[in-house]
Structures are given as C-alpha cells and as structure tokens.
Amino acid sequence: QVQLQQSGAELVKPGSSVKISCKASGYTFTSYDMHWIKQQPGNGLEWIGWIYPGNGNTKYNQKFNGKATLTADKSSSTAYMQLSSLTSEDSAVYFCAREGSYGGYRPFDYWGQGVMVTVSS
C-alpha cells in the first residue's frame, strides 16, 4: 500500500535552514509528482510546490520562491524540502502529498503524516 513517511519534528533557530524528508513506498516513486503543503497552527492549507522525481522538474508557488527548495533522491524514493532563512512565520506543519493518477488534472490522494517545524531562539 502507498505510504509517505515523513521525518520527525524540528526545533530550529531563526535565520537557519532545515531539511525535511518524505520517504515513499508502495508505488513507483519516479512516476508521480510529489507536493508539499504548509499548515500554520489553527490555519488552513497552503500549497508550496511540487517536484517530479522522474526528472527533478519543480514548480513553486511564487510566495515560496527562495524560501523552499524541493529535491528528490530516486535511489531511496525520498523527497526533500529545504526551508531557508527561517522566521517565526515558517513555524508550521509541513505535509508531503502524492498527486493522484486520475485522468486530466489530479488532486492529492496520499499524504504524509506531517512534520512540525518550530522556529524559536
């Protein structure tokens, strides 16, 4: 069965960077876009961007250009998101989610459990 296993919670200092992971299993990792979504405490969902692990192509929400960098390691079926120049506004839960295999455009059919990133001195 499809599973997306994300790395553990992070406590990081302002101005630093953090890299979180999303290990995929149960499907062909290189055949599906992987998306990343931000959820601040008590708030809604915000799309960050996607990566196609098959060739490394990426697309970002303009708001996260320069903030988030998406990469993928085909050998370990793991997607990564690095967040840089962290501020308190980056404190949130970050989800990875697989884009589904429906015809046409596709929503997110499997999600990781989420990673809490806390930015604090």
Partner 1 sequence: DIQMTQSPSFLSASLGNSITITCHASQNIKGWLAWYQQKSGNAPELLIYKASSLQSGVPSRFSGSGSGTDYILTISNLQPEDIATYYCQHYQSLYTFGAGTKLELK
Closest separation in Å from C-beta 44 to partner 1: 5
- Say how far apart CA 86 and CA 83 lie, in whole Å: 7
Looking at the Cβ atoms of 89 and 107, the one nearer to partner 1 is 107
The tokens for 20 are 């979180």
If you compute the radius of gyration of the chain from its CA atoms, what whole number of angstroms results?
14
Contact call for residue 104 and partner 1 (CB under 8 A): yes
Contact call for residue 58 and partner 1 (CB under 8 A): no
**Which residues of the shown chain bind partner 1 in the complex (CB under 8 A)?**
35, 44-47, 59, 61, 95, 97, 100, 102, 104-109, 111-114
